[in-house]
Amino acid sequence: MIRINLASIRTMAAATRGTIEGDGAGEVVISEEGRKDALVKLLVILIAPMALYLYENQNIPTIRNELNRKLASLAELQAFNAKAEDSVKEIKKFKEDEKKIQTRIAVLEKIAKDRFREVKVLDLFQQVIPEKLWFTRVEIKEGK
The answer to whether residue 17 scores a pLDDT higher than 60 is no
What digits encode the pLDDT tens for the residues 124-133? 888 888 888 8
- Region of 11 (left: φ > 0; alpha: ψ -120 to 50; beta: rest) is alpha
Backbone angles phi, psi at 30, to 5 degrees: -100, 130
pLDDT value of position 8: 56
The answer, yes or no, to whether residue 143 has pLDDT greater than 80, is no
**Section 100-109 average pLDDT:** 94
For the cut 70, the answer to whether the pLDDT of residue 105 exceeds it is: yes
> What integer pLDDT is reported at residue 11 of this predicted model?
57
pLDDT score at 111: 84
Q: What is the pLDDT of residues 20-72, one digit of tens each?
A: 455 555 566 778 898 999 999 999 999 999 999 999 999 999 999 999 999 99
Count of Cβ atoms closer than 10 Å to residue 13 Cβ: 14
DSSP assignment string, 87-126: HHHHHHHHHHHHHHHHHHHHHHHHHHHHHHHHHHHHHHHH
Query: Is residue 9 pLDDT above 60, yes or no?
Result: no
- Mean pLDDT over 107-124 rounds to 83
Residue 22: exposed, middle, or buried by beta-carbon count in 10 A (0-12, 13-18, 19+)? middle
In this prediction, residues 9-22 reach a mean pLDDT of 53
- pLDDT value, residue 93: 95
Q: Comparing C-alpha atoms, which of 50, 31, 53 is closest to residue 42?
A: 50
* b/e map 68-106, b = 16+ CB within 10 Å: eeeeeeeeeeeeeeeeeeeeeeeeeeeeeeeeeeeeeee
